[in-house]
């Protein structure tokens, strides 16, 4: 049985194309009616021969440079108008519902399940994801409706291959059930220097902005897995960044973390992340960058919210399961850098971000960015 969406698309596309064609001919009429009616107008003749290669070649062979320029201009206008078709279609498609009908609720993420996700044949996973609509570079948007949220998921990464595999195999279906327009960006730090999580987040933000525009960013550790797809990976309001991973399996059996905790998985609107100048670039090694991010948020008078703040009985839906790993060595300088950070909020972050991009690949399940970053003297 043909779905309602398919029927709508079948109606919308011809209408959209018809509108574009009409607009184009109105443009031609108003642009220069006399020149197009003239027998000497080579562009009029050439446009009339579109699809007739040999005849068009003959006409174009006699064209002057001025005539060729005219043809190029008109061809450019045709291309611009034709490119409007998918955008017209997109506007005519209805918005996705506020609550997705595809949600399944809680998933019991056991060690056995994680092992199973790890062992699935990668080719099969990629094929299945492609059939589900996942595009190259880990890019997805629903076809049945127009998503209300365009989200970039940024993941800092180094030497966690198994964690990354489980993360990707689990999170893609999770996000798709929420009917999100999203991309997953993995920012990998090359070897040789201590891990700098905050700088990798900034790089992910910067690189994503070079590709396209996103409403918001979710900064996501690779070892965190959301248990319930009712946990919203949607965009937060401007001025209200969302702390997402506050109920974690290793933290006193899911007891909510302190309100000052702002790490693991966090969501900020694009405007808010730019407003606070992103993460600090000065934390090399484990710890500190999340605490200073919270300071930056408060300094800029933003209000940190949590999922289900107004529905405390549903807070269990925001739980996270973590993948086990050896704890990193804490950075001995983190407390000093944290204490001195408030004087550098405006200069240390997106403002002074420097890195060398070694590689950029659009892989089947994610966009992969490999970077080299080096410590620099901290400026006051």
Q: Where are the alpha helices (DSSP H) in 110-179?
A: 111-119, 122-131, 161-177
Beta bridge partners of 181: 150
User: Strands 367-372, 305-306: parallel, antiparallel or unpaired by DSSP?
Assistant: unpaired
> What does the pLDDT read at residue 130?
97
Percent of the chain surpassing pLDDT 70:
75
Spatial distance between the Cα atoms of 12 and 18, rounded to a whole number of angstroms = 10
In this predicted model, what pLDDT tens digit does every residue of 125-150 receive, in sequence order? 999 999 999 999 999 999 999 999 99
Average pLDDT in the 313-341 region? 87
Spatial distance between the Cα atoms of 193 and 196, rounded to a whole number of angstroms = 8
pLDDT of 244 strictly over 90? yes
Torsion angle (degrees, nearest 10) of CA 213, 164, 128, 371: 40
> In whole angstroms, how far apart are CA 313 and each of 304, 308, 318, 366?
20, 8, 11, 35
> What does the pLDDT read at residue 48?
42
Q: What is the pTM of this model?
A: 0.77
Average pLDDT in the 343-348 region? 91
Q: What is the number of alpha carbons within 13 Å of residue 262 lying toward its C-beta?
A: 23
Confidence of residue 335 (pLDDT cuts 50, 70, 90): confident
> What does the pLDDT read at residue 81?
54
Residue 184: count other Cβ atoms within 10 Å of its Cβ.
26
Q: Of residues 160 and 65, which shows the higher confidence score? A: 160
User: Strands 265-269, 224-226: parallel, antiparallel or unpaired by DSSP?
Assistant: unpaired
Spatial distance between the Cα atoms of 239 and 178, rounded to a whole number of angstroms = 23
Tokens of 102: 């595809």
Tokens of 198: 């905050």
- Tell me the helices (H) and strands (E) count for the chain, helix number first: 11, 12
Judged by DSSP in three states, 330 sits in strand
User: Strands 150-157, 181-189: parallel, antiparallel or unpaired by DSSP?
Assistant: parallel
Tell me, rounded to whole angstroms, the distance of Cα 239 from its chain centroid: 20
CB 225 within 8 A of CB 166: yes
Calculate helix-pair angle for 161-177, 111-119, nearest 10 degrees: 100
In this predicted model, what pLDDT tens digit does every residue of 294-324 receive, in sequence order? 999 999 999 999 999 999 999 999 999 999 8
Judged by DSSP in three states, 191 sits in coil
State the maximum Cα–Cα separation within the chain, in Å, rounded to a whole number: 84
pLDDT of 49 strictly over 60? no
Taking phi over 0 as left and psi of -120 to 50 as alpha, with beta for the rest, 25 belongs to alpha
Q: Of residues 328 and 346, which shows the higher confidence score? A: 346
117: nearest Cα among 184, 163, 178, 186: 163
CB 306 within 8 A of CB 283: no
* Residue 378, Cβ density class (10 Å: 0-12 exposed, 13-18 middle, ≥19 buried): middle
């Amino acid at each position: 049985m043909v779905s309602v969406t398919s029927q709508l698309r079948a109606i919308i596309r011809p209408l959209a194309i018809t509108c574009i064609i009409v607009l184009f001919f109105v443009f031609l009429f108003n642009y220069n009616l006399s020149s197009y009616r003239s027998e000497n107008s080579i562009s009029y003749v050439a446009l009339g021969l579109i699809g007739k290669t040999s005849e068009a070649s003959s006409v174009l062979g006699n064209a002057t440079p001025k005539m060729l320029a005219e043809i190029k201009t008109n061809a450019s206008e045709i291309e611009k108008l034709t490119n409007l078709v998918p955008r017209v279609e997109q506007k005519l498609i209805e918005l996705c519902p506020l609550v997705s009908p595809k949600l399944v609720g809680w998933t019991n993420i056991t060690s056995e399940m994680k092992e199973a996700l790890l062992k699935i044949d990668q080719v099969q996973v990629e094929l299945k994801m492609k059939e589900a609509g996942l595009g190259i570079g880990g890019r997805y948007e629903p076809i049945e409706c127009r998503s209300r949220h365009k989200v970039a998921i940024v993941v800092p990464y180094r030497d966690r291959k198994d964690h990354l595999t489980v993360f990707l195999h689990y999170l893609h279906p999770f996000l798709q059930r929420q009917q999100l327009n999203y991309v997953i960006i993995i920012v990998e730090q090359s070897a040789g220097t201590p891990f700098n999580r905050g700088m990798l987040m900034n790089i992910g933000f910067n690189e994503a902005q070079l590709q396209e525009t996103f409403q918001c960013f979710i900064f996501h550790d690779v070892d965190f897995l959301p248990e319930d797809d009712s946990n919203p990976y949607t965009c937060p309001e401007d001025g209200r960044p969302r702390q997402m991973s506050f109920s974690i399996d290793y933290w006193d059996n899911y007891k909510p973390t302190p309100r000052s905790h702002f790490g693991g998985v966090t969501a900020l609107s694009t405007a808010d992340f730019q407003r606070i100048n992103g993460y600090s670039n000065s934390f090399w090694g484990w710890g500190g960058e999340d605490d200073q991010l919270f300071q930056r948020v408060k300094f800029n008078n933003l209000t940190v919210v949590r999922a289900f703040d107004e529905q405390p009985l549903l807070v269990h839906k925001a739980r996270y399961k973590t993948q086990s790993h050896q704890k990193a060595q804490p950075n001995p300088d983190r407390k000093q850098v944290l204490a001195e950070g408030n004087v550098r909020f405006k200069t240390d972050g997106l403002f002074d971000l420097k890195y060398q991009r070694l590689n950029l690949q659009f892989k089947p399940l994610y966009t992969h960015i490999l970077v080299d970053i080096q410590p620099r003297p901290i400026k006051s």
